[in-house]
Amino acid sequence: MRTQVVIIGSGPSGLLLGQLLGSNGIDNVILDRVGRDYILGRVRAGVLEQGTVDMLDEAGVGRRMHAEGLPHEGISLAFDNRLHRIDLTGLTGKHVTVYGQTEITHDLMDKRDESGLTTIYKAANVQPHDFDTDAPYVTYDKDGISHRIDCDFIAGCDGSHGVSRQAVPQDTVRTYERSYPFGWLGIMAEVPPADHELIYANHPRGFALCSMRSEHRSRYYVQCSLDDRIEDWSDERFWDELRRRLPKEAAEGVTTGPSFEKSIAPLRSFVAEPMQFGRLSLVGDAAHIVPPTGAKGLNLAASDVHYLFEGLRGHYLEKSSAGIDAYSLKALSRVWKAVRFSWWMTTVLHRFPDTDAFGQRIQEAELDYLVHSQAAAASLAENYVGLPY
Ligand code: FAS
Ligand code: PHB
């Protein structure tokens, strides 16, 4: 088989890139090692920057997002038993949209089916080859038969545990990492949200987040120990802990009910540099990971796709290599600013086991500054709604 671009990974990065390429006449094949139902079963991001919404519109998958997505003009920070609203729209003129990653993946998969583009699920032993030449190719096994796809470019959209970054000679990639001494225990429940906007809570017992997927479906998180297991947390224990970490007025807004999804995720910051190795480009989680505190993971994947798509479009439609050559530098500039913001939000809102009395006072001063300085609030707001591409 031959195509112009092979995309490894059928998550949001791969699907969005594939749709933008295909709708511009650039042929592409997506390979994923698992099936579509497994991908759709993953619960992940929930907050979209305007840039991500614009990309999904450009890919022709905005209809349901605009019909069902919730525009949010603010968030609240909770500490000292009070809610403090950050007026995102008043400070930036922009808003965010609450619409789950699962729905985005659904919409992109359906659009790809309509477009007749090729996706090969349950492809085993996917391996990129010769990406340091102008004739790269990818091999994989399917139903016991080995296959080869010749192409011009390979997009490594295969997440943090994928094959693409591993295929690069390890002395040519530099990595930067920070792991956090806690995790997030998240649940999903078919109950109305505690408030009409998200609440990020800093409490002596630990961080909590009140989010949502719709006016009938809520997504909650509490900071937990990395030693915790899901079986340690009954629904009853979760609801009690969540309400203990919220101001009284917010806790009274929590409607409890049975959870239908419960998971624990570790938090870490990770960046691989560069993001391009000859004809292989790393995209999204394949190149970087952020703690979800700043709601940046999915949105960074979207901006990577924007830069790579512009580069590939320039190569094929304008015979220019400028965009492709600039991909890594352009993407990393925005990546590091989002990594900084996600690290900062995590340090300001969580309880760290080794924080001394001085560190606790600094965190309290940070929060006090945020809610009493327009400049500080504006800085949080412009990062939260998304820095320009
Ligand atoms: P993905 O990991 O989504 O997709 C990669 C795809 O590549 C997968 O389908 C995988 O099967 C495939 N793949 C992997 N190895 C392969 C191989 N060898 N061969 C073929 N295919 C292979 N972000 C937020 O903004 N907000 C959040 O609240 C949030 N919560 C998260 C919770 C969890 C538990 C996790 C893990 C992430 C969370 N994220 C969140 C980040 C998440 O949304 C990612 O940023 C997003 O999924 C990135 O999309 P992709 O880059 O497409 O990678
Ligand atoms: C979510 O709804 O899953 C969510 C929202 C905002 C975050 C993290 C997760 O910062």
Q: What is the pLDDT of residue 42?
A: 87
Rounded Cα gap, residues 1 and 100, in angstroms: 35
Do the Cβ atoms of 194 and 247 come closer than 8 Å?
Answer: no
208 CA distance to ligand 2 middle (Å): 11
Q: How many C-beta atoms lie closer than 10 Å to residue 196's C-beta? A: 14
Q: What is the pLDDT along the chain (389 residues), one digit of tens a residue?
A: 999 999 999 999 999 999 999 999 999 999 999 999 999 998 888 999 999 999 999 999 999 999 999 999 999 999 999 999 999 999 999 999 999 999 999 999 999 999 999 999 999 999 999 999 999 999 999 999 999 999 999 999 999 999 999 999 999 999 999 999 999 999 999 999 999 999 999 999 999 999 999 999 999 999 999 999 999 999 999 999 999 999 999 999 999 999 999 999 999 999 999 999 999 999 999 999 999 999 999 999 999 999 999 999 999 999 999 999 999 999 999 999 999 999 999 999 999 999 999 999 999 999 999 999 999 999 999 999 999 99
Q: Does the C-beta of 292 come closer than 6 Å to ligand 2? A: yes
Single out the residue in 345, 361, 377 at which a domain terminates: 345
Report the CATH number that the domain containing residue 208 is assigned in CATH.
3.30.9.10
Whether residues 61 and 46 share a domain: the answer is: yes
Do the Cβ atoms of 243 and 156 come closer than 8 Å?
Answer: no
Does a structural domain hold residue 34?
yes
Q: Could you tell me which of 360, 368, 357, 350 has the C-alpha nearest to residue 206? A: 350
Q: Record the tokens describing residue 58, joined without a space.
A: 């450009």
Nearest atom in ligand 2 to the alpha carbon of residue 294 is 10
Q: Record the tokens describing residue 235, joined without a space.
A: 């629904």
Q: Record the tokens describing residue 142, joined without a space.
A: 């399917």
Do the Cβ atoms of 108 and 15 come closer than 8 Å?
Answer: yes
Nearest atom in ligand 1 to the alpha carbon of residue 286 is 51
Whether residues 289 and 208 share a domain: the answer is: no
Catalytic residue of the set 291, 292, 307, 350: 292
The runs of H, that is alpha helices, within the chain are: 12-22, 36-40, 50-58, 63-68, 88-92, 101-115, 164-167, 235-244, 248-251, 297-317, 322-349, 357-372, 374-385
Q: Could you tell me which of 42, 328, 272, 33 has the C-alpha nearest to residue 163? A: 33
Whether residues 289 and 338 share a domain: the answer is: yes
Q: Record the tokens describing residue 10, joined without a space.
A: 């059928």
Does a structural domain hold residue 82?
no
Whether residues 232 and 167 share a domain: the answer is: no
Whether residues 161 and 15 share a domain: the answer is: yes
Quick check: is 296 catalytic?
Answer: yes
ω before 274 within 30° of 0 (cis)? yes
Q: How many C-beta atoms lie closer than 10 Å to residue 72's C-beta? A: 19
Does a structural domain hold residue 74?
no
Catalytic residue of the set 12, 72, 193, 247: 72
Whether residues 155 and 254 share a domain: the answer is: no
Does a structural domain hold residue 33?
yes
295 CA distance to ligand 2 middle (Å): 5
Say how many domains are in the chain: 2
Tell the residue nearest (CA) to atom 6 of ligand 2.
Answer: 295
Does a structural domain hold residue 261?
yes
Whether residues 189 and 53 share a domain: the answer is: no
Q: Could you tell me which of 54, 42, 15, 18 has the C-alpha nearest to residue 386? A: 54
Q: Does the C-beta of 18 come closer than 6 Å to ligand 1? A: no
Does a structural domain hold residue 159?
yes
Whether residues 274 and 249 share a domain: the answer is: no
Does a structural domain hold residue 207?
yes
Q: What is the pLDDT of residue 163?
A: 98
Dihedral angle sign, alpha carbons of residues 331, 337, 341, 347:
positive
Q: What is the pLDDT of residue 295?
A: 97
- 280-319 b/e (C-beta count within 10 Å ≥ 16 → b): bbbbbbbbbbbbbbbbbbbbbbbbbbbbbbbbbbbbbeee
Whether residues 298 and 319 share a domain: the answer is: yes
Whether residues 233 and 284 share a domain: the answer is: no
Query: Residue 263 is part of which domain span?
Result: 180-267+353-385
Does a structural domain hold residue 86?
no
Whether residues 170 and 62 share a domain: the answer is: yes
For 158, list phi and psi in degrees, rounded to 5: -100, 25
Report the CATH number that the domain containing residue 21 is assigned in CATH.
3.50.50.60
For 221, list phi and psi in degrees, rounded to 5: -140, 145
3-state secondary structure of 376: helix
Whether residues 287 and 245 share a domain: the answer is: no
